[in-house]
Structure 1
Amino acid sequence: MTTLFLIIAAYLIGSISFAVVVSKFYGLADPRTYGSGNPGATNVLRSGNKGAAIWTLIGDAFKGWLAVFLVDHFQQQLGLGAQADQAIALVAVAVFVGHLWPVFFKFVGGKGVATALGVLLALNVWLGLATLATWLVVAYAFRYSSLAALIASVFAPFYYGLLFGAEPQLAAVLAMSGLLVWRHAKNIANLIAGKESRIGGKAKKKA
């Protein structure tokens, strides 16, 4: 019962769409109405407001980190015992799924890159930093946020396995990576067709 409560709580935390909340605070258009239509930091950046994009990134990453950190840090008080690793893995996936399909925003969410990063940092800081470094290198080299996210998501499970082996959280990392790739299906098609928007590109009203 405790694990089920934690899963629900993590999903609700993940359902807070900082792209929408921050945009409203800054008086910007709803990020679901322009550019890629994705409520995430990259699309908010297309509004031209770098501050809003940065706060969106921080908020989305923080909620992923917070959900996993709290369960990990208070696992004894929560009485998780031998089930702690499994509970942490389920919470990691739940907060990520909350971002993808947020109950507070009609289940229209982002692609989960920042939230996944927050989860990885909470699981292990070196895992998160290695994945972030991969994203930064690819993004700097090619200027495509989607390509950077795809490559980083493929490498994340590899990094986890290299650091810790086949632990329960590896399944969670694999699940998030698979969902990230799936959510970027349109971006993959655009990359192949040469139509993908580069980082910092101007926003266009969503058709």
Structure 2
Amino acid sequence: MEAKIIAVLIGYIFGNFMSAMFVGKFYLHQDPTKFGSGNPGTANVGAVFGKKAGIMTCVGDLLKTLLAIGLVYAIYRQHLLIAYTGLGVVIGHCFPIMNHFKGGKAVAVMAMTTVLYDTKAGLITLLIALFLTAVMQNLTIPPLVFMLLFSFYELSKSVEAGVIFLIITGIMAYKFKKDIYDFFTGHGKRVDILYSIKKKLGILK
């Protein structure tokens, strides 16, 4: 139990380092929470300030998750603690003390956590989410479907791990609550990634 608590605490500390805020301060010289949706995350930073800033934010979130999980695993060598550390990073990212508990939605954090915990299942569910994003042209429902699929799969293998990932899914759903409401009321933002890819490849002009 002590190791699990420490794993969550270490994850929470790392989660507090908001990549969007660092990119905003040292690269953009702007506060990303004052633009767009106000969310200090990859999607908002990328939409408002461009792809480079969005990628930098995403890489930062992936890296802090990797470092937190790597540190805990190096100390304890317990696979289950990957999930507990991921939970801590998600809580820290979504409710960071350093940013007055106003954080992001933890999509990148969870992508890294799932792949590190169960690489095959993580990649498969991420591909499903990517497909749904392309078809639905939406950035809200696919991440939640991805986490639900992954959580239920892990639940079938380990109740404890499955419950942890379901808790994480619940936290993400809470952070996405406005976006979920907008989606089901027909006011959700549409993102045509296929169009963007074709345009990038020169298929469309």
Superposition TM-score tier, normalisation by shorter sequence: 0.7 to 0.9
- Percent of pairs with identical residues: 28
Q: In the alignment, residue 126 of structure 1 is paired with which amino acid?
A: K
Q: Is 1:166 aligned to 2:153, yes or no?
A: no
Count of aligned positions: 192
Name the structure 2 match of 1:16. 17
Tell me what 1:54 maps to: 55
Provide the C-alpha distance between the structure 2 equivalents of 1:200 and 1:27, rounded to a whole number of angstroms.
26
Question: Any runs of at least 4 consecutive aligned residues in structure 1 with deviations exceeding 3 A, and if so which?
Answer: 1-6, 84-89
Q: Write 1 or 2 for the structure with the bigger share of helix.
A: 2
Match runs of 1:124-143 below 5 Å: 124-143=118-137
- Unpaired runs of 5+ residues, structure 1, are 77-83, 202-207
| 1:186 maps to which of 166, 178, 181 | 178
Conserved in 2, the CA contact under 8 Å of 1:40 and 1:56?
yes
In the alignment, is the contact (CA less than 8 A) between 2:121 and 2:150 conserved in 1? yes
The superposition leaves residues 149-183 of structure 1 with CA deviations (integer Å, 9 ceiling, x where unpaired) of 12212212133245xx1253222211111111121
- Specify whether residues 18 and 122 from structure 1 end up closer, same or farther in structure 2 by C-alpha distance, changes over 3 A only: same
Output the CA distance in 2 between the equivalents of 1:120 and 1:112. Answer: 12
Q: Larger relative CO (CA 8 A, sep 6+): 1 or 2? A: 1
Matches of 2:146 and 2:100, distance apart in 1: 28
Matching residue's letter, 2:152: F
Give the CA deviation at 1:40. 0.8
Displacement of 1:28 in angstroms is: 5.2
Provide the TM-score with structure 2 as the length reference.
0.83
TM-score computed with the length of structure 1 as normaliser? 0.82
Deviation string for 1:43-71 (max 9, x for gaps)? 11111410110111121122223322332
**Cα distance, 1:25–1:135 mapped onto 2, change above 3 Å:** farther
The structural deviation recorded for 1:198 is: 2.5
Root-mean-square deviation (Å): 2.2
